[in-house]
Structures are given as structure tokens and as C-alpha cells.
Amino acid sequence: MKQSMSFIPTLREVPADAEIKSHQLLLRAGFIRQNASGVYSFLPLGKRVLQKIEAIIREEMERAGAVELLMPALQQAELWQESGRWYSYGPELMRLKDRHDRDFALGATHEEVITALVRDEIKSYKRLPLILYQIQTKFRDEKRPRFGLLRGREFVMKDAYSFHTSQESLDEVYNKMYEAYANVFRRCGLNFRAVIADSGAMGGKDTHEFMVLSDVGEDTIAYSDASDYAANIEMAPVIVTYERSDEPYEPLVKVHTPEQKSIEEVSSFLNVPKEKCIKSLLFKVDGRFVLVLVRGDHEVNEVKVKNLLEATIVELATPEETKKLMKCEVGSLGPIGVPEEVTVIADHAVKAIANGVCGANEEHYHYTGVNADRDFSVQQYADLRFIQEGDPSPDGKGTIRFARGIEVGHVFKLGTRYSETMNAMYLDENGRMQPMIMGCYGIGVSRTLAAIAEQYNDEHGLVWPVAVAPFHIHLISVNPKIDDQRQLADDLYEKLQKEGFEVLYDDRAERPGVKFADSDLIGLPVRVTVGKRASEGIVEIKIRRTGETEEVHVSQLTETLRRYLS
């Protein structure tokens, strides 16, 4: 592509509202432009990277036995009502009405549409398993769209869905998709990890997320320093066992703790370590109240609470609800003397606290000398806290470390969550009706693009890996006004393209400094500069990643380029 005819609006200044490298550089190098919050245009270079990633995904999907189709973004509300998600998906689902006042949604995901489609066409076990996928624009009215393409409100997703007659068949395809995902992200050059995840609002059990390791990631990964164990911290079980020390039992005493609310305040006011404090949080779990206890130096993991209680919605009780029920404010909560209707559950560590401290359910008062089971009762002890760095790895090998990750892909075993609510049945070998067993598999295509940009850049700009670079070669004529230079550059442009290279040709009448700076910013793997020695047939090659340069005679050029690009 000739740069003079393309549309690559580069910027020298860092755009003020772009906080992270990938967002800044994709804007500055002219790959994307923002239209509205979380809504972007892909300019020609951005579009080409997107196509490269999509091509890799298509190859890996086909290899895994998936077949491409394209479903509508505009979806009738009835389908979402059938699955129940019209009511449970919340404000992220973009809803609209047509001219007849009928409700529609813009597809945030396509379980409903595909389940209805397959339900209506497939009746027999003989047609299963079936794996279908699409690459399409999704809409989610995210609360906090940010970081450019990383969290958009309109974004490109690859979503695949599989339909099965048995759990074994689902397991087999799940493993294939898992492999395909690993291949996709490896081919994109990403440093990533597959981690055990929570199935969230999707329903279903077995699930993994593919996380690109990056400090700007919104997820925290707990991984072992000695094995390949890795999980979203939401999911990592804590395998520590706790023993109460043989400290003699002290009497329970109510003490005055004026204005001391947080664990930090109480522990320093009473001069007891945080490990001796009991942190009590009141949650509303599907409408009923649950007091959750953890040790003062631990944090409650709401996903574990949700899974233990097999709940759908877990949220902190509001200060008003707390006041009404417990007759005190949040900072004074404790497990002693709670009303009947409140369930008390506790993390294992709480049982082992000897002579601890907890809120007295009375403002400005705490108890000391608190011992579980003597002073208060707990309906259930369970693993309810977040894993911490330094905890033993759940697989028994090594110690847990944390890393930040960007979720680029997610594979789920859905089971019959959708086929049952939406009546997607087939006739089995014995002529009996059975619900289809399903899996679903998503890749954030535009997010992957940003994740690559986040991992591949330096102080001069982007540094694309060959597999996803918008072009392989940036061909630059230093001064196109000089005939030799222009002529050689024109010839090379034709020749290299004929040989199968993808070439961006900077034929603009710009100063060399501008061209080089733009070239570094755009970050194609190899630059070929036609300059002073054009008349001798000599050009300069520069490798963007390493900065190494080499003068090459045009007769050797193809071979040299092949070597660098392979």
C-alpha cells in the first residue's frame, strides 16, 4: 500500500485521555480513533491487524472442527426472555425498540440466538456433535469502558458454541478448543497463561480463561512458583490448615472502642495483631442476610461465598440494611448475638483464633477474649477468603505468587443451562428426548489486538510480531524527488509484492525525520530504506525489534528479508 494514498493519521503528542501504552500508541500510530466512549473506528492499519488475528483464529477454529457462520447483532428480546437473561443480564445489555415498539437487544453474546437456531434445525443425535463459530461485533454497555480496545462498549469477538449428546463429547471438544486457543495466542506472539476461572453469569462449571500477562490487566492471577498451576484469584482454593494455639481461654469482655471501625484502627487501638481480629461482613445473598467472618488480615472472596451458598447474587448489605437488622453500623459488626434470621458462615481460619477481637454489634464497642464456638456459633466453616501471595499452591507444589492479566479468551462448559431453558432437545438412539449439552468459547479479537500492542512496544512506538503485523515491510524512499531513489523504491515496491511480501511504501514528500519517526511508531518488523546509495543498488535494512541495521545489495534483498521475516 502506498502511504500517500492510505489513511494513517499519526500523532506526535500523547493523547491526554489515553492512560496505557497500547491505547496511546494505537492512537498515535494511526491504527484506531475513538468515536464515543468505548467505541472505536479501526483505521486501515488497525483493520489489517484485526484481519491477521482473525485469519489465525479461523485456521485454528477450522482445525478444531468448528464451522463459521454469522448471526445477527440485532436480537429479539423474546429469546433473551426465554433464557431468563433479559431480566438477569443487567444494564450491560444494550436494549432498544423497533418502530412497532417491540423490544430488541444488541448482541452482547450469542448463546440465545445459536441455541434457538440449532434447536429449530437439529432433532437427532446423528447430527451431533456440532461446533459453530462466528467473528462479529458485540455490544456491552460497560460501566467503565477504558484502556481503548481493552474494554470497549462495541468490540469484536470470536464466539463459538458446541452441541453434544454426552459429557465425554463435550470434554473432548473443550480440550480441542483449549488447544486451539493456546495456538491462537501463541501464534499472536503473546505471553499468556490459561487459568482456572469462575463461570460467572454464564452458568456451567468447568472453565478456563486465557490471560495475557500484563501490569495493566484487570484480573489477578494466582500461580505457583513451582508448577504450572494458575487460577484467577477468585477461584484459587486455600489449602492452609489452622490449629488453635494452646493459649488459655480468657473471659469475654466488652470494651469501649470510640470511633474505631476498621480492622487497622481496632487492632492498633487495642494493640492486638490483625490476625487476632475477626472481620465480619454482612452480605445480602439472593435476598437473605449472611454474616461472613474472616481473619482480620484476610479478605472475603465473594465468589467463594456465592459458590458455597449456590447463590446467584451476592452483594454487601447497605449501611441502611445493616443498621435496621443489626442495630449498628458496618464497623461494629460481629458474630455474637446476631438475630435469628442471619446465617453466620466463617472461613476456617476464624475457628483457630484464640482470644480474638470482634465487633459487639453496638457502636463504639468491641469484644476481646473471643473464641469461636464458645462465644458464638457458626453454621458452616469453609474456605471463604482470597488466596494470598505466600500461601501454598493448591496443587501442593510450591508457593503462590500473583500476576496481573488481561483476559483475552474464555472457554466454558455450559452443560444444559441454555438447552433446558430454551428447550433445545434431540432424540437419542432410543428415541428419547434429551437436552443438548453445550460448550461456549470466546476470544476478544479487538482486545487481543490491544494486548499484543501492550506487550510489543518500546520508547519509539509499536513493535509488531511478524504474524500479526499490518505489513511485513516498511519501504521508505528518503527523498522521492531524486530520480534514482524514487525509481529504485518504485521498482522494489512492485518486486517485493510480487514475491509475496506485504509492503507499506512511504512515498510521501515528507522530511526523512518525519518518515523515520512514523515508521518507528507504526512498528512494522523490517524497514527498507532507499537513500543515498540507490544508484549503486544498495539499500539499508533495519530490524524494528532489535534496531540492528544492515546494508544490502538489491540482488540479495529478497533472501535477506526472508531470513529476517521467517
The residues that touch ligand ATP, with contacts defined as CB under 6 A, are: 109, 140, 142, 151-152, 155, 157, 407-410, 442, 444, 446-447
**Residue 439 or residue 525: which is nearer to ligand ATP going by CB?**
439
What is the smallest separation between the CB atom of 391 and ligand ATP, expressed in angstroms? 24
Closest CA to 54 of 334, 387, 448, 466: 448
Please enumerate in sequence order all residues whose Cβ is within 8 A of that of 447, keeping only pairs 6 or more positions apart, or say none. Answer: 149, 150, 151, 152, 155, 406, 407, 408
**Residue 190 or residue 372: which is nearer to ligand ATP going by CB?**
190
For residue 339, whether the previous peptide bond is cis, meaning omega lies within 30 degrees of 0, is no
Written as nine digits, the cell of 416 is: 444444559
What is the smallest separation between the CB atom of 51 and ligand ATP, expressed in angstroms? 17
Asked if 107 contacts 75 with a C-beta cutoff of 8 angstroms, the reply is yes
> Residue 40 and residue 154: Cα distance in Å, rounded?
8
What is the smallest separation between the CB atom of 402 and ligand ATP, expressed in angstroms? 18
**Residue 155 or residue 516: which is nearer to ligand ATP going by CB?**
155
> Residue 353 and residue 370: Cα distance in Å, rounded?
8
What is the smallest separation between the CB atom of 174 and ligand ATP, expressed in angstroms? 15
**Residue 160 or residue 344: which is nearer to ligand ATP going by CB?**
160
What is the smallest separation between the CB atom of 160 and ligand ATP, expressed in angstroms? 11
DSSP 275-321: GGBEEEEEEEETTEEEEEEEETTS-B-HHHHHHHTT-S-EEEPPHHH
Rounded (5°) CA angle 252-255-260: 130
**Residue 444 or residue 470: which is nearer to ligand ATP going by CB?**
444
**Residue 114 or residue 326: which is nearer to ligand ATP going by CB?**
114
Rounded (5°) CA angle 541-11-507: 45
**Residue 140 or residue 515: which is nearer to ligand ATP going by CB?**
140
What is the smallest separation between the CB atom of 157 and ligand ATP, expressed in angstroms? 5
Written as nine digits, the cell of 404 is: 496481573
- Residue at grid coordinates 423474546: 78
**Residue 218 or residue 329: which is nearer to ligand ATP going by CB?**
218
What is the smallest separation between the CB atom of 409 and ligand ATP, expressed in angstroms? 5
**Residue 11 or residue 201: which is nearer to ligand ATP going by CB?**
201
Asked if 458 contacts 522 with a C-beta cutoff of 8 angstroms, the reply is no
> What Rg do the C-alpha atoms of the chain give, in angstroms?
29
What is the smallest separation between the CB atom of 286 and ligand ATP, expressed in angstroms? 21
Task: Give, in order, the Cα–Cα distances in Å from 240 to each of 378, 395, 398.
Answer: 19, 12, 13
Asked if 555 contacts 537 with a C-beta cutoff of 8 angstroms, the reply is yes
What is the smallest separation between the CB atom of 287 and ligand ATP, expressed in angstroms? 25
**Residue 48 or residue 140: which is nearer to ligand ATP going by CB?**
140
Closest CA to 283 of 345, 375, 207: 345
What is the smallest separation between the CB atom of 440 and ligand ATP, expressed in angstroms? 8
